[in-house]
Amino acid sequence: MKRIGVFVCHCGTNIANTVDCANVAEVAKDFPGVVYSCDYKYMCSEPGQVMIQEAIREHNLDGYVVAACSPRMHEPTFRKCAERAGMNPYMVEQVNIREQCSWVHADKTKGTGKSIDITRMGVAKVAQNEPLFSTTIPVTKRALVIGAGIAGIQAAIDIADAGYPVTLLDREHSMGGKMAQVDKTFPTLDCSACILTPKMVEAAQHPNIEIVTYAEVEAVDGFVGNFDVTIRKKARYVDVNKCTGCGLCSEKCPKKVASEFEMNLGTRKAIYVPFPQAVPNKPVIDAKNCRFLLDGKCGVCKKVCPTGAVDYEQKDEVIVERFGSIVVATGFEQFDISKYEEYGAGRIPDVITGLHLERLMNASGPTMGKIKRPSDGKVPEKIVFIKCVGSRDEAKGRPYCSRACCMYVAKHATLIKEKIPTSKSYIFYMDVRTAGKNYEEFYARTQNEYDAQYIRGRVSKIFQVGDKLIVRGEDSLLGRPVEIEADLVVLAAGMDPQQDAKDLARTLGISYDQHGWFTEAHPKLRPVETHTAGIFLAGACQGPKDIPDSVAQASAAAVKAAGLLSKKELTAEAQTAGCNEAYCSGCGLCVAICPYKAIELKRISERVHGGTRERQVSSVNQGLCQGCGACSVACPSSAMNLKGFSNDQILAEVDALCQR
Amino acid sequence: MSAVDEKKVNAAGQPDPNWEPNIVGFACNWCTYAGADLAGLSRMQYPPNVKLIRVPCSGRANPQFVLRAFQKGADGVLVAGCHPGDCHYATGNYFTRRRFLLFQRLLEFSGIDPRRFQARWISGAEAPKFRDVVTQMAEEVKALGPNRKLREEL
């Protein structure tokens, strides 16, 4: 039988007013195992703690119960108090007679009765407590950033500036992400490339940053501080070490295909650099379109290359590297507008998306910055914008707001007026949401100085008559139908998660919501952490975001990642699951239920009847386990148990509460 | 025992007017336990019948614990955790939801009124909801009278 102490706190008058603390301490003396019990005005105070420590020594206590405020408040205090007296900190239980008793029950008799009950519960639990020890895990002082858009770049630079090596990985050929495709940025209208390119160069030249483009994460093993990441570097067919980026190969390549970067409005070659400012500025051969790789005929690029960098034999390379923390910054995809049949989206060439318009406005875009209709190259005079296409539309499975569209439409209307002064923009909207610094002012200028006409209502149909697009909708403020003969229609397409976001989430062991956005650990208080320790989120992969928000979140994620790397070693949670191998049948139910991929099956050999036998049992990785206890409930043989909240401990509590 | 030794049942098995039900609650550390703490901080008043056992996650509450509570004489059992989708451990309360919806029907099949066993979602901000849930449950179980099913001494 353990020797247990009970310490009842008055918390001044907070508890003592409605609970007879002396009576609780007196009754507790008779609980099984209790050898010492007392009450005191403030247990958490210095004298209170000294009193507890003296009692531990004097009465040779194995564990104690403190009946006081919520353990969510002072559990660490009383655990440390035990430690100072040489007692294992996990031999302490705190029962809550303040928040859940004295403050909510004005009747002193009832309050005292309940206090006695829950103190008995605490004593019963402590009698079952076992000393627990935290393990420490080493930290690999390197970070991986997945996705080299603006969020990934910012996160990588911040971690690198903090002094830790960073690998910045992107599956595209170049860094830059979606921001590289954007022409100008709201609300300041500075050119996107002018602010992004220096960042890309800074990252590329940073001594602590290694850029790995055209590569994907295939598998992630390990746990916080020690992730083993399998990276597939796809074959570029160009030796980046030999290539000088002179561009002769692209110039001479005979094969032209539609450029993805230009939203198929322009062309590129089969060996190409996606855009002029690309970093690294080294070409890649598109194997699906290269004549040599398809038919073995051509080989022009290899012939013209002055450094002999073209290598048709190159193969994918798979590497495994270890990182201490991971920042996920995989961004978004533009919503596929062809889901809006009624707008002729995908059918009518002059119904385009915001990103198409960005390319049409960009000085290095397919039209050299002249806004021309994709169908006939005519300069449009009347432009209709439709907002919330693929946002706030339950019918299309996108109930959320994409947050950036209101502002980018205002930006487009402003820029179009500057480029085509005789033009007129009509903007169909549901609401205008401009919550950001200087956003509302920008929106007001768009209306007042750039003459954009905002029409509240939805468009029901768009169809072609001659070379005009008839946009039919409703003005819900005037309550009447509207029809506009437009030259160009721009759909403010919302943001979608990356199509394979869920696959990546499963690879990383992080969670995602019903749409595919990665879920943060807490929507308000832990916005950049995931539920998996050591993995952080930055930018639009967590939910629609504009550039300022993405950058802010990236820096926040970088601090979290660098903070983790700054530790010599990590203290693992002591209250973790553990498997009693003698009971374990190796069924693997716990493996499937574990949200942290902390459990795996291992083979053990044991001696049975003079021979050795091999069998499977579960094994918990203490570094990964967060102590939720899901496995212990799933386990059919009670082999799996959660330390600190074991079956025996909880059953003892149940028994104590029922026994009156 | 002191003031609480009052579980009296009259000869007809009808609850004594002074009888108070004993209800065991399993509250997840992150949502419901925090909600109960907030109810305290807000000095809300509710009957003292529900006593909470703190568990890391509502998914830690094993149906076995519920059976044990009824076996040992509890008149009601409450399992409460974060709202589905808000679980601190990502998926724990989804298991709670499936497990206990089914379990409630099983208990009903065994003759235990479903009002005696409830699984509820109470967030750390929902102090009023916590108060309402425990108040309602205390009243309902009191009206039902002492639980006699599954008890080992009967």
Chain B hits for A628, CB-CB cut-off 8 Å, are 56-57, 59-60, 88-89, 92
In-domain check, residue B100: yes
Give the pLDDT confidence of A138-192 residue by residue, as tens digits.
999 999 999 999 999 999 999 999 999 999 999 999 999 999 999 999 999 999 9
* A150-161 helix and A547-565 helix, angle to the nearest 10 degrees: 30
Query: What are the structural domain ranges in chain A?
Result: 4-128, 137-234+316-332+498-571, 235-314, 337-496, 577-643
Inform me whether the pLDDT recorded for A660 exceeds 70.
no
Inform me whether the pLDDT recorded for B88 exceeds 90.
no
User: What CATH number is associated with residue B85?
Assistant: 3.40.50.960
Find the radius of gyration of the CA atoms of chain B: 15
Residue at token pair 């195992």: A33
pLDDT value for A1 = 85
Q: Which residues contact A164 (CB under 8 A, 6 or more apart)?
A: A141, A142, A143, A208, A562, A565
Mean pLDDT along residues A515-534: 87
> Are the Cβ atoms of A657 and B60 closer than 8 angstroms?
no
Q: Which residues contact A298 (CB under 8 A, 6 or more apart)?
A: A254, A255, A290, A291, A292
In-domain check, residue B29: yes
HEC readout, B8-52: CECCCCCECCCCCCCEEEEEECCCHHHHHHHHHHCCCCCCCCEEE
- Using CB atoms within 10 A of its CB, is residue B12 exposed (0-12), middle (13-18) or buried (19+)? exposed
Inform me whether the pLDDT recorded for A274 exceeds 60.
yes
Complex prediction ipTM: 0.92
Give the pLDDT confidence of A70-97 residue by residue, as tens digits.
998 899 999 999 999 999 999 999 999 9
Give the pLDDT confidence of A528-580 residue by residue, as tens digits.
998 788 999 999 999 999 999 999 999 999 999 999 999 999 888 899 999 99
pLDDT-based confidence at B9, cuts 50/70/90?
A: low
To the nearest whole percent, how much of chain A has pLDDT over 70?
A: 100
In-domain check, residue B10: no
Mean pLDDT along residues A24-36: 96
Which residue range is the domain that position B103 belongs to?
A: 20-143
The answer to whether domain A137-234+316-332+498-571 and domain A337-496 are alike in fold is yes
Amino acid at A279: V
Spatial distance between the Cα atoms of A532 and A540, rounded to a whole number of angstroms: 19
Spatial distance between the Cα atoms of A402 and A496, rounded to a whole number of angstroms: 8
Q: Does B110 touch chain A (CB under 8 A)?
A: no
At the second CATH level, the architecture of A337-496 is: 3-Layer(bba) Sandwich (3.50)
Average model confidence (pLDDT) across chain A = 95
> Are the Cβ atoms of A630 and B88 closer than 8 angstroms?
no
pLDDT-based confidence at B3, cuts 50/70/90?
A: very low
Inform me whether the pLDDT recorded for A247 exceeds 70.
yes
CA angle at A64 for the pair A625 and B6, rounded to the nearest 5°: 105
**Chains A, B: CB pairs < 8 Å:** 155
Spatial distance between the Cα atoms of A532 and A528, rounded to a whole number of angstroms: 11
What pairs with residue B56 in β-bridges? none
Inform me whether the pLDDT recorded for B85 exceeds 80.
no
In-domain check, residue B1: no
Spatial distance between the Cα atoms of A415 and A406, rounded to a whole number of angstroms: 14
Q: Chain B closest CA to A136's CA: distance in Å?
A: 22
Q: Does B43 touch chain A (CB under 8 A)?
A: yes
At the second CATH level, the architecture of A4-128 is: 3-Layer(aba) Sandwich (3.40)
> Are the Cβ atoms of B22 and A118 closer than 8 angstroms?
no
Inform me whether the pLDDT recorded for A249 exceeds 50.
yes
Residues B50-70, buried b or exposed e (16+ Cβ, 10 A)? bbbbbbbbbbbbbbebbbbbb
B74: nearest CA in chain A?
A: A658
pLDDT value for B2 = 36
What pairs with residue A64 in β-bridges? A5, A92
Give the pLDDT confidence of A641-653 residue by residue, as tens digits.
999 999 999 999 9
Q: Chain B closest CA to A339's CA: distance in Å?
A: 28
Q: Which residues contact A302 (CB under 8 A, 6 or more apart)?
A: A292, A308, A310, A312
Chain B hits for A657, CB-CB cut-off 8 Å, are 22, 24, 51, 53, 69, 74
Amino acid at A456: R
Inform me whether the pLDDT recorded for B6 exceeds 60.
no
At the second CATH level, the architecture of A577-643 is: 2-Layer Sandwich (3.30)
Spatial distance between the Cα atoms of B53 and B73, rounded to a whole number of angstroms: 16
Domain count within chain B = 1
A533: nearest CA in chain B?
A: B89
Neighbours of A376 (CB within 10 A): 10
Q: Chain A closest CA to B109's CA: distance in Å?
A: 22
Fold classification of A137-234+316-332+498-571 (topology level):
FAD/NAD(P)-binding domain (3.50.50)
What pairs with residue A383 in β-bridges? A425, A488
